[in-house]
Amino acid sequence: MKSIFVITKNIKRFQTAFQRINHKSHGIERVCLTVGEVGLGKTVAGLYYGVRDGAAMITVWPGMTQHWLLRSVARELGIDEPAWRTERLIEQIVHVLMQDRRTLIFDEIDHFFRNNDAKRVDALDSIRKLHDFCNIPVILIGEERVDKKIERVPRLNDRIIEVVRFERYKENDVKDIIDQLSDYRFEADAIEKITKTSDGRIRPIMRLIHRAENTARIHQLKTISAKDF
C-alpha cells in the first residue's frame, strides 16, 4: 500500500470549500461547516489541509468553556503566556491574528451542544467574534446533525457559507481508493466485499486493503479476489 493521502470525493469537496473560504473579498463571511459520521476522515482532512495552510487546529473537549477555548486558541497561535483575564486574552489573540491571518479549525464542535449549556454557546459566539474582527477563515468540524444544532446560535449560523457533508463511500469510490493506494489488481467481488464489510468507512477500508495485500504478497498473487482475504 502506497504512503499517500487518498483524494476521495469527500476530500475533494472539503478542498473546494477550503479554497472558497480563503477568498480575498472583504466583508464576505468565511465560515465552513464540515459534518459527517464517525470514521469518515473529517479530522484527517482538516489536519492535512491545515498543516499545508499553516492553520491553527483546536480540538474541542467535553465541558470546554469560553475561557478554556480562548486559551487553547492562544496557545495554538504561539502566544507563550496567555493572559488570565478574558479581555486581555482576546486582545492578545486579535493582535496575533491581525498581524498574521491564519485559518482556525475547530474539531469536534458537537461537544459545545451537550446539555444545552448557555456557557458553551458563549464559546461559539466568541469564535464568531474572532472571525468578524480579524476576517479569518474558520472551519468547524462536527458529527452528524451538528448543522441542525448550530442553528441555536443564529449569528454564527448566518455566517456559514459552505457546508461539507462527508458521506459513506460506495463501491465506485472504494474502487477509486484502491486504484490510488494499491499496486495489486482487485477483482469486482473483492471490491464488493470491502465495501460491504467496511460499511463505507475509510478506516476499515484501509485495514481490509492492507490485509488483502498481505495475503497477495504471501501467496504471490497478482490479482486479488473476494476469497483471498
Give me the residues that bind other proteins (CB under 8 A), please.
3-5, 44, 47-48, 50-52, 54, 57, 59, 75-78, 80
| Nearest partner of 92 among 70, 64, 69, judged by Cα | 70
Residues 6+ apart with CB under 8 A from 117: none
Look-up of cell digits 474541542: 60
d(C-alpha 195, C-alpha 171), whole Å: 6
From the CB of 217, what's the least distance to other proteins, in Å? 13
From the CB of 188, what's the least distance to other proteins, in Å? 27
Comparing CB distances to other proteins, the nearer of 3 and 115 is 3
Comparing CB distances to other proteins, the nearer of 41 and 142 is 41
Here the cell at position 72 is 487553547
DSSP per-residue string spanning 135-156: T--EEEEE-TTHHHHGGGSHHH
Residues 6+ apart with CB under 8 A from 220: none
Comparing CB distances to other proteins, the nearer of 59 and 135 is 59
Comparing CB distances to other proteins, the nearer of 47 and 221 is 47
- Could you tell me whether strands 104-107 and 56-59 are parallel, antiparallel, or unpaired per DSSP bridges? parallel
From the CB of 77, what's the least distance to other proteins, in Å? 7
d(C-alpha 44, C-alpha 196), whole Å: 23
From the CB of 57, what's the least distance to other proteins, in Å? 6
Cβ atoms of 36 and 146 closer than 8 Å: no
Comparing CB distances to other proteins, the nearer of 80 and 183 is 80
Comparing CB distances to other proteins, the nearer of 80 and 151 is 80
